[in-house]
Amino acid sequence: MVEAGQLRVYVSKKYFPIFQEISGNNLFSQNSQFFILSVFVGGEKHNLLIPLEKKNELCRAATLSEYDKTSLRALYLKKHMEMSTLKEIVEYAEKYANGGIKYLLENILQDMVLEDTEGNWQFKQKSSKELQMKLFEYVLAMTEEVPF
């Protein structure tokens, strides 16, 4: 069994620059936090389970909080009706995060990002306040739709 300290969390290579920039501008204190947002508010909400193509390591699974791990376990259990290893649960969540970031980029942040000729996504310009507001408005709209 792989322990959380050794387990890595991956994202698609084409979205990796977005994750790096978001964590670099201090909107989230850890890469794992935006990963969790992508899993639930993009991927799971819109049922976008997209396998990773080429992948980059985002973070160690040890950076996931106990709440994050419990949420991912619950998501896995909801879809599979049985529990699995943390490794399989994280790999499943990576697919939702991939779908989630795709949804966020194409539907929420579309005017702030661009896809280069190699298929990698990046921000057009650095504007952490605008990014923060767009994400906040999206999450707020979701909580009004279905309160937590």
Question: Is residue 43 within 8 Å of 100, Cβ to Cβ?
Answer: yes
- Distance between CA atoms of 76 and 71, rounded to whole angstroms? 9
The partner residues of 12 in beta bridges, in order of sequence, read: 55
- Distance between CA atoms of 29 and 46, rounded to whole angstroms? 25
- The pLDDT tens digits along the chain (148 residues) read 456 679 999 999 999 999 998 887 788 888 899 999 999 987 898 999 999 989 999 999 999 999 999 999 999 999 999 999 999 999 999 999 999 999 999 999 999 999 999 999 999 887 778 888 998 898 888 887 765 5
- Distance between CA atoms of 51 and 63, rounded to whole angstroms? 22
What is the three-class DSSP state of 40?
Answer: helix
DSSP state of 124: S
Q: In the prediction, which pLDDT does 139 show?
A: 87
Q: In the prediction, which pLDDT does 62 show?
A: 94
Q: In the prediction, which pLDDT does 76 show?
A: 97
Q: In the prediction, which pLDDT does 16 show?
A: 96
